[in-house]
Amino acid sequence: MSVKDIITVPNDILKKISEPIVNVGINEKKLINDLFETMYNSNGIGLAAVQVGILKRVVVIDVSSKDEKKNPMSFINPVIKNLSDETSVYEEGCLSIPETFIEIERPKVCEVEYIDLDGKKKMIKCEGLLSTCLQHEINHLDGKLIIDHLSKLKRDIIIKKISKTKKNPDRVIV
């Protein structure tokens, strides 16, 4: 297992659509392990393969709190099958958009079909933070980011701020 570098905006790879995985083999399982290690190392609760530069439809999630036992979940080729009409709002952050948190309204409940590590098709119905996180990560696989929910002006300001920070890594933004 190894920690991968997380790609941040404005990198164009984050806007690309990820390709489905045909077979779940050793390489896919290694990728999933690397994604978990990278996510935990970055104190995240979700990570899509595209965020480490791999255009494969894979996401990992663990929404357990610090007090709880870890509950790592992986989703291969996830597809949202159903969304509730009822919505909820969460302040979302993203490892690819550092130091940025945006209140986003999403369907409260989602049903997602996916393939597990054994290559078996599964379905999960979730709500709350897991639902929000899963929708967020699946958006990544489709080239969509949380800043896409903002106006072009606000989006450009955030990208400019992150680009400046990358150019001046010693600069602290408070």
35 pLDDT tier (thresholds 50, 70, 90): very high
Is 172's pLDDT higher than 50?
no
Q: Is residue 26 part of a domain?
A: yes
The CATH number of whichever domain residue 94 belongs to comes to 3.90.45.10
Q: If you search the block for the tokens 């490892």, which residue do you land on? A: 95
Number of domain units in the chain: 1
Q: Is residue 155 part of a domain?
A: yes
What residues contact residue 123 under an 8 Å CB cut-off, 6+ apart? 81, 111, 112, 113, 114
Name the residue with higher pLDDT: 174 or 63: 63
Q: Kindly report, residue by residue over 147-162, the tens digit of the pLDDT.
A: 998 888 888 888 888 8
pLDDT at 171: 40
Q: Is residue 5 part of a domain?
A: no
How far is Cα 111 from Cα 135, in angstroms, rounded to an integer?
A: 10
Q: Kindly report, residue by residue over 1-30, the tens digit of the pLDDT.
A: 799 999 999 999 999 999 999 999 999 999
Q: Is residue 113 part of a domain?
A: yes
Domain containing 26 equals: 12-167
Residue 92 annotated to the active site: no
Q: Which of 19, 68, 105, 137 is catalytic?
A: 137
pLDDT at 158: 86
